[in-house]
Structure 1
Amino acid sequence: MQILLFQSSNLLLLIICFFISINIQFCLCGEDPQYANCRKAINCGGIKDIGYPFWGVNRASYCGQLGFEVQCLDNVPVINMVNTSFRILEMNPKNPRTVKVARQDYWNKICPQRTLVNTSINVSLFNYASGLANLTFYYGCNTSTPSTNSQVCTINGSDVSVAFHQTGDEHPVANYTCKTEVLVPVFKTAALALENNQTSIEDAVDEGFELGLQIDNDQCNYCEGSGGTCGYNNTTTTHGGFVCFCKDQPYAITCAVKSDIQRKGTIAFWTGVGITIGVICIIFISRKRKFFLKRYFKTEHRYELDIEKVIKNYGSFTPKRYTYSDVKKLTNSFKDKIGKGGYGTVYKGTLPDGHLVAVKVLNEPKGNGEDFINEVASISRTSHVNIVKLSGFCYERHKRALIYEFMPNGSLDKFIHKQGSSNTNFPRLEWKMLFEISVGVARGLEYLHRGCNTRILHFDIKPQNILLDKDFCPKISDFGLAKLCKTEESIVSMLGARGTAGYMAPEVFSRNFGGISPKSDVYSYGMLVLEMVGARKNLDYGGSHTSELFPHNVYKDLELEKDEIILEGISEGEKEVARKLILISLWCIQTIPSDRPSMSKVVEMLEGPLQSLQIAPKPFLFSSPISGADSSQPSVRS
């Protein structure tokens, strides 16, 4: 009886606060100023509908994100990226959000009056859309070319020859030495029209190219669907994040729905008065049982209230929360099991809108739940093509679940271990696909280390945590061991070890090797790539390839310029891919963290030529063994 009395008083206090807030809102006549400002799109030179995440001109900085400022220069909307100006030609504000841009320095001309630079975008904010091709401009060739696609430019007061061709086509200019080559993306349709002499080079370039926006797309859709407009809090690092500006006030994700209550304002007001009187009576009676209620609060409710506080602190980063009853409906009462491990069981599910999801139902959890909320918050802060998307979560005391986007091809380990090569369901991946997966994982880690508002260290990179979509695009998953830190921090303070044996960097289990930093993820990435390379050749040294013996033999093979271990029996193109992966991974697994490259450098090495890579010094320590059988061992949590 006393417990029910306490719970009732809390419920009624919440209700009275709700009604009081409604009546206060009835007195407000105007719109929230931030809502009013961010509803306006940027209009410049006839280009309209430039909205979130862009800001500038008539939109305040809180209407968009850093890196998306637009300037209206000579009646042209312009955005700057990587020291290059792009004019905005068109924006699609609907899902998926895209923007069409063109090089400002190449507008109506192929003779820019500034430094000649390749087209480069901020990959943490944008990605290239499909249907594009590259045009290559050659400047200052050593002699005139026989091409009809050539002319003379005056750049910085000097006459310079220029020729162009579509990247990948045979072209006479390739036989000449030129001072500068500049790549400019165009639509494939424009490149084809240019090839057939149906358009000019200037018109092909001026059609521009399309970029996809990688920022808060789902959150913004939820916000706009509830009648709000999207914005961002850039004022502080502590509370910065996505904001949904609504008519009455800002909210975390979506606007509150109040229309029915507003139409019945008078009834709500007097109902609130009556409830207030009832609450006062109940509180007066309950104080006689204060000692019991206080004890009950400490022993029974402290656990839940603390976690609610943790969830609230993450604010807009927290995704949709489902009840356990909702989870049962999504999975058809857990009918279709698609995976099981030490962490729990994964079921296939379907959202109300028809999208397939993977529902990870955790085993009987231990601890106070902060590790679980940590994983929820870590993934929610990310938005990248190589990071798994978290659609929602369930937290009801000891019933916890994570709801991810569905990955039809499962995890990488099913495709790279020896036993998978003979399984028709998991065919062996070709070298080209292994290379693309390696690049995708590297870009995902680079984004976690540099592209997020808050730096995220994963600490558990291994094949089981790399998921593959229908096109085998890799996505990093399982952020249960992840740690959030400020972007300016180079060394992370952490008690104990966390990670999986065989992929764990030396400094994680012994501080004698150096401080824990993003370089710890670099080590795990290097071991992952080495395992992919070794599994592709079904290498076996004395029963199993280990993280100690395998790198040693690979290093020796490369040092002696032999082809016995990895490169034997494959084509020249495959040899180049394999050698590049091996050289880069050996740099990543250097024992001392400072000797390893950053993930940004790793991406640069992967995209650069093989000839620029040197053999790394031989690491003097390798961690514990990895094999197809034991690499699935559970992660160690500090």
Structure 2
Amino acid sequence: MATSQLAALYITVFLLSMSTSTPTLAVSVPMTKPGCSTHCGTVEIPYPFGIEPDCYINEWFQILCESSTGLLKPLLNSMHLEVWDISVAGTIRVTNPITFSNCSNSLVNPVQTFTLEGSPFLFSQKNRFTSISCNEIALLTSSDGYPIGGCLSICDNGSSLTPSSTGRILNHDSCSGTNCCQSTIPLDLYAFNTSFQKLNDVKIGSACNHAFPVDQDWFMSNSINISPAGEIFDSIPVVLDWNLYNYSPPALSEDDHFVKSFHCERIQNKMQPQNISTRCFCSKGFQGNPYFFLGCQQDECGARSHICQRSFPSSVSYTGLGLLIFLIVVARWLNRVIKKRKHNKSKAMFFKQNGGLLLQQQSATGEVHVEKIKLFTSKELLKATNEFNVNRVLGHGSQGTVYKGMLEDGKIVAVKKSKIVDGGEVGEFINEIVILSQINHRNVVKLLGCCLETEVPLLVYEFILNGSLSQYIHHQNDFRLTWEMRLRVSMQVAGALSYLHSSTCLPIYHRDIKSGNILLDDKFNAKIADFGTSRSISIDKTHLTTLVKGTFGYLDPGYFQSSQFTDKSDVYSFGVVLVELLTGQKPVFLTPSGEWSSLATHFIESMEENSLFDIIDARVRVMKDGGKEEIIAVANLAKRCLDLNGKKRPTMKEVAATLEEILLLVTS
């Protein structure tokens, strides 16, 4: 028997010996209907809300208990909002959509209408409309545009809303009209719009502005983290009142005790008189949930409080009381020791499972120095990503999901949560660490560290602000890549690949070059990412692999057929990226006849038929700085990269030099 269990047994025996003259405390009352789940994670789910069918009163009150992040989290299915807590007194706290203006964080909800119209929910007056802004009037308007509230905040002398190196903390003490303001919200509010208006058209700095209703009780006792760029990463709760329309209380019975246990009252909405809801309460001396049969039970402590005061029999000496206290202290200490031991054992197991031993072996060979790689704790990264909140997701890849995070020092990072299924994928994870530890190039994303003590391994990279090249080529975007920018990005990628192929101790082949793995920083310089499938190749190796890996549409046909990967395979993939930049087409696309076609094949055929400009992206054709001769030169280079005979393709060093010459012609 474990020591903590033994101590608990001693305490139980001791307490039982005293129970003859000690009354029993009231039993906790049920808050859900029989047979229904009581909790989702740590959140209690009382009726009329519920998880399983027949456990909630109607579809508006259905709770989804989802575990996509590894932790159980309740979602209000009808509104798709994360639930913080629910009270049978008629309130529910949910994660709050945040309105922003002039911010770079594309993950935060844009300016929009937040509506609860048609639902049994409305915004509680326990909330306060809060604006974090500088020289801005934050307006709260009805869905038809009529002003219903708002507040004004002015700038301080330090312009604290402008980007800083460390970020800042906001709490109720610092929300007094300078950079932050608050106002009450109207009664019976179902929907609202938010917008910002400059004070007297004064434009100071480039502040990132936010507006949102927030649970004032939560705001008074918590703080909000604001990033160096002025962006809010924390989840913020808002209180909603919930109402039961056309509700019939639990059927009365002849049991007088039951009839007296609860009472209900009808409440009319002052703004919408036709909406009459029912609110029920447990009667005085009862506690529990009044919304189902026998949900309210007698509260012995409330009715006769003296029976809840535990008194020890006179026969119990001070020695016995001291022994009890001693046993409780020992049991708690043992429990902490055992929990810590289990936690350390789990971390050691995960370290081994996630390739820690393999990483140490790589270090022993001199390929990588573990001491140069920062080992983050799971606690650090959980806090940085708000427990891997779905609102922090930057993107999904074949090897995992990438989240945006903020470290304690205010540094913004990208955290990749790997999808580890078997040992082979663990090898890919460790391989990425080994590869990136050897690379020091301005156009390759920088690895900051990793975490091996969690169930799945985590990699921490520098945060690249402007997303992937693919987003700017294939998706509608207000910002357009000019011809010069397209050439510069392609030249930077080619230069980085040339460095990997010929300037490292051992040649490194990326093996998954694509526009989605090319990131753009704040100045739209290229950064190559995702080295999970990359390889360092010795001169005497054949480069044979047992499993072809890469992205369809970018794969070298020769590699696909022979499983032999060479530096010219990266050249082929880069050629597809060049064609993407020229045509704006995806590497595999649907033709007007409804058939899938390879962009590389379609491009080569167009070149041979002298119809190149029929497939050139209109955004390239209309650019004044995109001369016809330069476009043809890049197209000819792409055609050479896509040669089916790998030996005839240029090296990445030659590709980079050619692109540099073309760029000089454009900029001269």
Query: Fold-level match, TM-score > 0.5?
Result: no
Q: TM-score range by the shorter chain?
A: 0.3 to 0.5
Report the structure, 1 or 2, having the larger helix content: 1
Q: What TM-score do you get using the length of structure 1 for normalisation? A: 0.44
Q: What TM-score do you get using the length of structure 2 for normalisation? A: 0.42
